[in-house]
Amino acid sequence: MKNKKLMLMAASAVLSLTIATNAFAASGTVDRSVNFRTAPNTDSSVISTLKSGTSFTVLSKVNDYWLKVSVGGKTGYVSTGYVSTGGTSSGGSGNSGSSQSSKADQVIAKALSLKGITHYKYGVNQAPTLLDCSSYVKYVYSFFGVNLKWGTRYQKDAGTFVAKANLKKGDLVFLRVGSSKEIGHVGIYAGNGQFIHNSPSEDGVMTSSLTSGYWASRYVTARRVL
């Protein structure tokens, strides 16, 4: 009798665990290509690159920036900024407007926190103290699961195009420098016509206007990466 009771208790525990796991699991889809990693950080190894449209199962929500997922029988991690989730309780939608806005505010706060710490030097990527404009942007976004290459020539193709009239906080803005017609500078849109950037004239991080002053006529394009 005692053994039978123990077996029933064990079976009940397994059933409860199975129900809890199934209740948590949610489906998801890759919105744009994302690295499928071995750990929830950008320093971890890449298992593979998941293409847009790839389906996966959410196993758990690590934090606002990373999901633990299962794809093709393999388990790994993806950045929430590149995917959409549905179904039941992963703890929230991975790419909702509110979460995007919250993340953008955190990006801006991080960018501003480097004022007085980060100094400018062209062609240098020595975070956090000595960076150029694009390595500064790359460094800031690395804290939020967004992988950017170093250099405006690469960053100008990251994410998706966004028109100037539709800019949102956290978008990358690209500008000309001097009389050049080519993109030569990048910053982070902070809202209200302002952007944050690592400036050679300031020798560090500053906020400037896109609607007046030096940069007003030098805007070229923008990309959304959140």
Report pLDDT digits (tens) over 161-194. Answer: 999 999 999 999 999 998 888 999 999 999 999 9
Range of the domain at 58: 2-85
Q: Answer yes or no: is 90 within a domain.
A: no
Q: How confident is the model at residue 103 (pLDDT cuts 50, 70, 90)?
A: confident
- Is 119 one of the annotated active-site residues of the chain? no
Residue 67, CA distances (Å) to 9, 139, 142, 144 in order: 33, 21, 16, 13
Single out the catalytic residue among 138, 156, 169, 197. 197
pLDDT value, residue 43: 83
Domain assignment present for residue 49? The answer is yes
Is residue 91 scored above 60 in pLDDT?
no
Q: Write the DSSP symbol of residue 45.
A: P
CATH number at residue 43: 2.30.30.40
Higher pLDDT, 13 or 196: 196
Of 131, 133, 129, 135, whose CA–CA distance to 149 is shortest? Answer: 135
Please give the full DSSP string across 166-209, using - where no structure is assigned.
Answer: G--TT-EEEEE-TT-SSEEEEEEEEETTEEEEEETTTTEEEEEE
Structure pTM?
A: 0.59
pLDDT band at 101 (very low <50, low <70, confident <90, very high): low
Across the range 209-220, mean pLDDT stands at 95
> Which of 42-56, 92-106, 187-201 comes out lowest in average pLDDT?
92-106
Q: Please list, in sequence order, all residues whose beta carbon lies within 8 angstroms of the beta carbon of residue 197, skipping any fewer than 6 positions away.
A: 133, 136, 185, 186, 187, 188, 205, 206, 208
Per-residue pLDDT at 17: 37
Q: Which of 54, 85, 116 is the last residue of a domain?
A: 85
**Alpha-carbon span 72 to 154, nearest angstrom:** 30
Active-site hit among 26, 50, 83, 133: 133
Q: How sure is the predictor about 22, in pLDDT bands with cuts at 50, 70 and 90?
A: very low
Check if 133 is active-site: yes
Percent of the chain with pLDDT over 70: 82
Whether residue 197 is predicted with pLDDT greater than 50 in this model: the reply is yes
Tell whether 25 and 136 lie within a shared domain: no
Nearest-angstrom CA–CA distance, 15 and 140: 45
Q: Are strands 130-131 and 119-120 parallel, antiparallel or unpaired?
A: parallel
pLDDT above 90 as % of the chain: 59
Same-domain status, 48 and 155: no
Q: Is residue 106 part of a domain?
A: yes
Confidence check: pLDDT of 204 > 80: yes
Looking at the structure, do residues 44 and 137 belong to the same domain, yes or no?
A: no
From the candidates 169, 185, 223, 224, which is the catalytic residue?
A: 185
The domain tally of the chain equals 2
User: Going along the chain, which residue ranges are E strands?
Assistant: 26-30, 34-37, 46-50, 55-61, 66-71, 74-79, 83-85, 119-120, 125-126, 130-131, 160-161, 172-176, 183-191, 194-199, 204-209, 219-224
